[in-house]
Amino acid sequence: MKPLTERKTEWEKQVLNPTLIRFPERKNPFNTSSGIEIEPIYLPPYPDPDYEDKLGFPGEYPFTRGVQPTMYRGRFWTMRQYAGFGTAVESNQRYKFLLAQGQTGLSVAFDLPTQIGYDADDLMALGEVGKVGVSIPSLRDMQILLDDIPLDKVSISMTINAPAAILLAMVIAVGKQQGVPMSKLRGTIQNDILKEYIARGTYIFPPRPSMRLITDIFGFCAREVPHWNTISVSGYHIREAGSTAVQEIAFTLADGITYVQAAIDAGLDVDQFADQISFFFNAHNNFLEEIAKFRAARRLWAKIMRERFGAKNPKSWQLRFHTQTAGSTLTAQQPENNVVRVALQALAAVLGGTQSLHTNGRDEALALPTAEAAQIALRTQQIIAYESGVGDTIDPLAGSFYIEHLTHELENRAAAYIKIIDDMGGMLTAIETGYVQREIQEAAYQFQRALEGKQEIVVGVNKFEQENEKLSIEMMKLDPTMEEAQRAHLAELRAARDNGKVAELRTRLAQTAVSRENLMPLIIACVEHDVTLGEICHTLREVWGEYQPNIDL
């Protein structure tokens, strides 16, 4: 291996191009307030070949220091606030508000009926329409949701899993109407069904047909929608269920391994789809451990993709991820304290090298965030980006003995978990036998015991409590007539559409579901002819059945 100083010279030739710097108009955009020039990267002051090899350079294997050579010196992370409530009209207004405040990407929250494949007029949806996200049962709703939002300029992230193919089809259809071809669409669908069986519960179909839907999306997007992230493998919900940082890395990457293997088994070449896989992590309270967690996950995934799956394209080795601050750490008591928690968690995500970030609202332990709370959350990111200086050099905490120790330990302990899962026969077996669920439950139980025993402190909850506390913030209230209006909207759609065509498409969908043909083109045709999300899901339920969890786990 070449000496480190020589490698640095070669690396700098790639990244010091003025056009790659986020403020090219400034003569020297990277100085401290005292005028000290900030180097693009800092290296260890002592010779240790093994250490240097693990640390490496940003944009180079094993990506410990980041997936892009310039990281935030080139451009900041995408500020992508997760939002959605009520009807498409109301959510569209919130998106426009956030974009006007400087948000740089959309993140759509769907209501519970949409997430589990029911239309707003289904009996199963009663009382839940628009409550925890936006109701999108049809293409017409998606058209309203994305009204005046240019899909060739704004990337769309959607937290949707079991019906992910349907919501993606709707975005593709809206793009066509806007004159934006599939090849230019940018965004992400979560599409991570395994963590639904583990931690979240918004599943519809059994694991095997669910995996078939996912690999159909992989294959279709590799050919037709190359800039779309076809899956966002989520550790966020695993952490929210009570896992440790080690478990979050391990179970998330084990899910990722399962998806990659399923796509290979379906006949796809790993380098054909791997660069469209993204990840979604939690930013929790232990500030330095969280920074190390992101670095360890990057390094471990790079090794998995190169050594286990034989991927040859460096882009296939890169773990690109979105981060959300930890909802489970927010408190209903003294909710103003949540602003501080969110700021620390967001800073950990940035110092850990996230590609995009959502910051929670201070009021989310009580209700959906108000516009004011959402604005404060976005301003938190903007202050970190534009005022703190933490993005002026790449991976600024690298070389800290503590950070490097934590990174090493997290990687090794997560790898040990992955070996246990491999020895069991893989993640599907580990989920079906309840191993993963039990590990998370035990971690959550131990934390709760520590909280009750005050070995863990949550300010305002088990220490520094406030007697006779009065709520000092205004909570968001939803329109109580919204659900009825959404049902009426669907009745009008069903009366106006070509129901003969709808019946024909549903028959074809059922037939295709038992074949090996890719389902995506037919699902796009269905949504374009106003077949609703619930009707598509019911058709597939009739063929594949529904997942029934093992209640004895």
Report the CATH number that the domain containing residue 77 is assigned in CATH.
3.20.20.240
Domain-embedded: residue 473: no
Q: Examine the domain organization and report whether 415 and 281 are in the same domain.
A: yes
Domain-embedded: residue 333: yes
Domain-embedded: residue 472: no
Both tokens of 40, joined, read 């693009």
d(CA 148, CA 150): 6
Q: Please report, in tens digits, the pLDDT of each residue of the chain (553 residues total).
A: 677 777 788 888 877 777 777 777 776 778 776 677 888 888 776 555 566 667 889 999 999 999 999 999 999 999 999 999 999 999 999 999 999 999 988 999 999 999 999 999 999 999 999 999 999 999 999 999 999 999 999 999 999 999 999 999 999 999 999 999 999 999 999 999 999 999 999 999 999 999 999 999 999 999 999 999 999 999 999 999 999 999 999 999 999 999 999 999 999 999 999 999 999 999 999 999 999 999 999 999 999 999 999 999 999 999 999 999 999 999 999 999 999 999 999 999 999 999 999 999 999 999 999 999 999 999 999 999 999 999 999 999 998 989 998 999 999 999 999 999 999 999 999 999 999 999 999 999 999 999 999 999 999 999 999 988 887 788 888 888 999 999 999 999 999 999 999 999 999 999 999 999 999 999 999 999 999 999 999 999 999 999 988 766 5
Q: Examine the domain organization and report whether 51 and 75 are in the same domain.
A: no
Which residue, of 55, 81, 96, is where some domain finishes?
A: 55
Which residue, of 452, 474, 498, is where some domain finishes?
A: 452
d(CA 322, CA 320): 7
DSSP reduced 3-state for 461: coil
d(CA 362, CA 368): 10
What was the pLDDT predicted at 483?
95
Q: Examine the domain organization and report whether 320 and 235 are in the same domain.
A: yes
Q: Examine the domain organization and report whether 282 and 309 are in the same domain.
A: yes
Q: Examine the domain organization and report whether 16 and 108 are in the same domain.
A: no
Helices and strands: H and E segment counts in the chain = 22, 9
Query: What is the number of structural domains in the chain?
Result: 2
End-to-end CA distance of the chain: 50
Domain-embedded: residue 335: yes
The identity of residue 195, as a single letter, is: K
Q: Examine the domain organization and report whether 79 and 41 are in the same domain.
A: no
Domain of residue 249 covers 71-452
Which residue, of 12, 27, 55, is where some domain finishes?
A: 55
The identity of residue 253, as a single letter, is: L
Q: Examine the domain organization and report whether 169 and 138 are in the same domain.
A: yes
Residue among 257, 172, 243, 158 nearest 202 (CA): 158
The identity of residue 410, as a single letter, is: L
Q: Are 282 and 321 in contact (CB under 8 A)?
A: no
For tokens 């294959």, name the residue.
Answer: 219
Sheet containing strand 231-234, strands side by side = 228-229, 187-189, 156-159, 105-109, 78-83, 356-358, 321-325, 277-283, 231-234
Domain-embedded: residue 485: no
Q: Examine the domain organization and report whether 23 and 118 are in the same domain.
A: no
Domain-embedded: residue 63: no
Q: Examine the domain organization and report whether 77 and 51 are in the same domain.
A: no
Q: Examine the domain organization and report whether 37 and 80 are in the same domain.
A: no
d(CA 79, CA 107): 10
Q: Examine the domain organization and report whether 133 and 36 are in the same domain.
A: no
Domain-embedded: residue 520: no
Q: Examine the domain organization and report whether 444 and 347 are in the same domain.
A: yes
DSSP 176-206: HHHT--GGG--EEE----HHIIIII----S-
Q: Are 22 and 72 in contact (CB under 8 A)?
A: yes
d(CA 353, CA 347): 10
DSSP reduced 3-state for 480: coil
Domain-embedded: residue 474: no
Is 0.75 surpassed by the pTM of this model? yes
Give me the phi and psi of 192, to 5 degrees please: -105, 90
